Structure 1
Amino acid sequence: MTRYIAFLRGVNVGGVNLKMAEVTKALEAAGFTAVRTILASGNVLLDSTSDAAKVRTTAERALRDTFGYEAWVLVYDLPTLHKISAGYPFEREVADHHSYVTFVGDADVLDELAALAPGPADLVARGDGVLYWQVPRAATLSSAIGKTMGKKRYKSSMTTRNLRTLEKVLR
């Protein structure tokens, strides 16, 4: 049995409003155990005997069938998530800035994001399957990275979490 974190893309933003208790029930019905949501932004801890790829497809199917929306999920085992969090290359807490990790399931998309020119106050670094970035609070959506990540063609292969959220998930 492996403990995973499933990051649900676009939950409780942009019109996809899900109650986490209902998400838990849907994932339990799909065969996952020890399902627990963290915050209301689509962070789900769960256990499975399957590999991460199978957990992803099973979770996506369960969410699509239950809630009728185009669900996208990125899945990581907890040791991998610990490694990603520990690898954050910048100061973790900077006043008036957000520290983010963008999880990317498609190498070509990661290449595109990593090649973007950051703004003058942004910090960006490529990690193993992730993009680390730090941006002034007021500039998240207006930054080159923020604007690019909002494009529809990236929705199925990436999601971003604040570093503070990752720390809550890993507790």
Structure 2
Amino acid sequence: MKYCAFLRGVNVKGTNMKMAEVCEVFKDAGMEDVVSVLASGNIIFSANRKAEDLKFILEKAMSEHFNYDAFLFIKSEEEIENFWKSNPFNKNENLHVYTFIGNNNVENVLMKEFEAASKTDNEDAKIVNENFYWQIPKGNTLDFTFGKILGRKNMKDQFTSRNINTFEKILKKIATNSQI
């Protein structure tokens, strides 16, 4: 089965790693067809195990190899396609849309946080198919009230986020690798 691992906190705040080295860790942990997409910690691979088992195996391997507390979220090709196709926001050059990948029910925790946060013009959030989407004007995402949740230490094992365009790139890479 094809999966993508979304690593949390890669190449930010001193946690720097080369994606080629991350791919080697995945291969050493028994994953096949391993490739990275972008430098933000999106690793596509094949495995014949359940996502929960893979999460445990890969977090342990990453933590040991890079000497940090690794948090990652494993999603199947079908789930990734769901993230991409369920985006409730129209494309707008002045806005970013982020999708949050995480533990079960994290979308409700995020919506509660969003509803309590002060908002800027054109900022919105929606839950579609149990996926949390956040639309924000382009700029300093982490400076927005809700954006500050991204860096909270008490939430680091709960979710990670990606720009919606990342899902399109991941799906294209999966399709390309499937043809080889």
TM-score by length of 2: 0.88
Q: Distance in 2 between matches of 1:104 and 1:73?
A: 9
* Aligned-partner Cα distance in 2 for 1:130–1:11: 22
1:18 is displaced (CA, Å) by 0.5
**Which ranges of structure 1 fall in alignment gaps of 5 or more residues?**
none
After TM superposition, list the pairs within 5 Å mapping 1:33-44 onto structure 2: 33-44=32-43
Structure 2's unaligned 5+ residue stretches are 173-180
The question of whether the paired residues in 2 share the 8 Å contact of 1:96 and 1:137 is answered with yes
Q: Percent sequence identity over matched residues?
A: 32
**Is contact 2:86–2:129 with CA below 8 Å preserved after alignment?**
no
- Aligned Cα root-mean-square deviation (Å): 1.4
- Local SS of the residue matching 2:79: helix
Alignment-mate amino acid for residue 63 of structure 2: R
Secondary structure at the aligned position of 2:143 is classed as: coil
Is residue 103–residue 158 contact of structure 1 (8 Å, CA) maintained in 2?
Answer: yes
Q: CA, structure 1 residues 157+129, in 2 after alignment: closer, same or farther (shift >3 Å)?
A: farther
Question: Aligned pairs, how many?
Answer: 168
**Pair 1:130 & 2:131 matched:** yes
**Residue 32 to residue 102, structure 1, CA distance change in 2 (3 Å):** same
Q: Aligned partners of 1:103, 1:143: CA distance in 2, in Å?
A: 20
Letter of the aligned partner of 2:146 in structure 1? I
TM-score relative to the length of structure 1: 0.93
Distance in 1, matches of 2:42 and 2:103, equals 16
Which position in structure 2 is the counterpart of 1:105?
Answer: 103
Once the two structures are superposed, residues 81-104 of structure 1 have per-residue CA deviations (whole angstroms, 9 ceiling, x without a partner) of: 10121000010x212211110112
Amino acid at match of 1:140: T
